[in-house]
Structures are given as C-alpha cells and as structure tokens.
Amino acid sequence: MIPAAFPSKEEIARLTARAFLEIGAVHFNAREPFTLASGLPSPTYIDCRKLISYPRIRSMLMDFMAVTVMREAGFEAFDNIAGGETAGIPFAALVAERLALPMTYVRKKPKGYGRNARIEGTMTEGQRVLLVEDLTTDGGSKLSFVDAIRETGATCNHTTVIFYYGIFKETEARLADHGVSLSYLCTWWDMLAEAKTQGIFDAETLTGVEEFLNDPRGWQAARAK
C-alpha cells in the first residue's frame, strides 16, 4: 500500500533513531572502539540488517522511506527499484511494494557463470531506477552499483538509505559529482540526540561519541594502529 501520511523530516529522524535504539541495533563504545570494514576504529556501530526481524519497526521505516523518496525525488520519479547486494535487497523489495514498482537487485560483482550478470530481475533501457541501500558512510560503495545500473541503459540519479552517517563532509559531494542525490531517514547526530533523551548510555560514552562525530577523521587518526 502506498503511504499517504507524510510526517516531518524531523519526526521521521527521531522515530527512526528510537526504533534502532529500542532493538539494540546501535552500539556506542569509546573505550574499546569497533573496527570498521575499512580497518579504521570507530566508537559507533549500527546493524541495519537487524530491522528485518522486527515487523512493526520494519513496516514503519519502509513507510518512512517511501514517503521520503516521494517528497524529495517526486511521486512519479521512478520506474524500477534496485537493491544493492546484500543488505539493500529486502528493503528494496519492501519499498517497491509500497511504490507499486518493479524490483531488481544489483550484485557487487558479476556472478561468474551463466549470463555473468550484475543485475538480477528485469531492468530495461531508459528506466529511471532508484537505488535502495541500508546505509551509507562516505558514499563510495554506491557508485559501483550506480555504474552497473547505468550500463543497462537505465538511469540512476537517486539513492535512498535508512541510515546515513552524516559526519563525512565529502559524501554528498562525491555522490553529486557522479550525478546522484541522496535521501535518508536519520544520521548519527539524530541517534546521539535520541540516546541522550532516553538516557541509554552513560555520560562518558556519549561525550566520547560526540567527540568522534565532530572530528571523525581526526579521532580515527589518533587511534589507528
């Protein structure tokens, strides 16, 4: 069903952050930082994949994603919804259902046999494709998916995510240079604000996280092994 209610961007951010915190998908630890895929340390970690196991939260957030896309990109802006392998696939399917559009997904690399395809499902030349992912940090991984979509002759000028780090200044510029705009539900700043409101973490932890958010590259450089 296509959502008809359009909560404010601020309310969407607050409720999204609250949902993540409620299911324990947000982890803060400034004393013993997490190691990211890049090998760099971080006092924050988020598990968006956990959302698929919570139907009420999952439904609410997918409604939020659908209305955010319609509000920021347009009501009739897309012909196809593509999920990025693997985390974006379930969310793309749920958004496609809400927007009553076909769904496809994009592999990280060709599967190596058969048609050696990167696009699964039907995507045709001239279609306007929305790329759906769970999150983005600096936007880099999105560009490979966008290029694979464009190689079919389709266009891809917009990507939407549930969670956007919102702390690396180059992210949106990098996407824009590639002709891609970004929409999202909440950021680390929204998560920190809601965590403070709920008193979930101790003051020392929250202070450490805020230091990281204000200067992530400097924080990482000071602690990189």
The torsion angles phi and psi of 154, rounded to 5 degrees, stand at -80, 170
> Per the domain annotation, does 60 fall within a domain?
yes
> Per the domain annotation, does 225 fall within a domain?
no
Banded model confidence at residue 40, pLDDT cuts 50, 70, 90: confident
Angle of CA points 115, 120, 125, to nearest 5°: 90
> Per the domain annotation, does 129 fall within a domain?
yes
Domain with 206, as residue range(s), is 9-218
> Per the domain annotation, does 1 fall within a domain?
no
Banded model confidence at residue 39, pLDDT cuts 50, 70, 90: confident
> Per the domain annotation, does 4 fall within a domain?
no
CB hemisphere CA count around 111 (13 angstroms): 12
> Is the pLDDT at 87 greater than 90, yes or no?
yes
Is the whole-model pTM more than 0.85? yes
pLDDT at residue 76, rounded to an integer: 97
CATH number, domain with residue 137: 3.40.50.2020
**Locus of tokens 């309310």:** 11
Tell me the C-alpha to C-alpha distance, in Å, between residue 209 and each of 9, 165, 169, 201, 214: 23, 13, 17, 10, 9
* Burial class of residue 202, CB neighbours in 10 A (0-12, 13-18, 19+): exposed
**Locus of tokens 């939407």:** 160
> Per the domain annotation, does 2 fall within a domain?
no
> Per the domain annotation, does 32 fall within a domain?
yes
Among 9-23, 64-78, 106-120, 145-159, which stretch is predicted with the lowest mean pLDDT?
Answer: 106-120
Contacts for 56-59: CB closer than 8 Å, 24+ residues apart: 57/19, 57/22, 57/23, 58/94
Q: Tell me the mean pLDDT in the region 163-169.
A: 93
Residue 39 vs residue 75, higher pLDDT = 75
Q: Are 31 and 41 in contact (CB under 8 A)?
A: no
Structural domain tally of the chain? Answer: 1
pLDDT at residue 115, rounded to an integer: 66
Banded model confidence at residue 113, pLDDT cuts 50, 70, 90: low
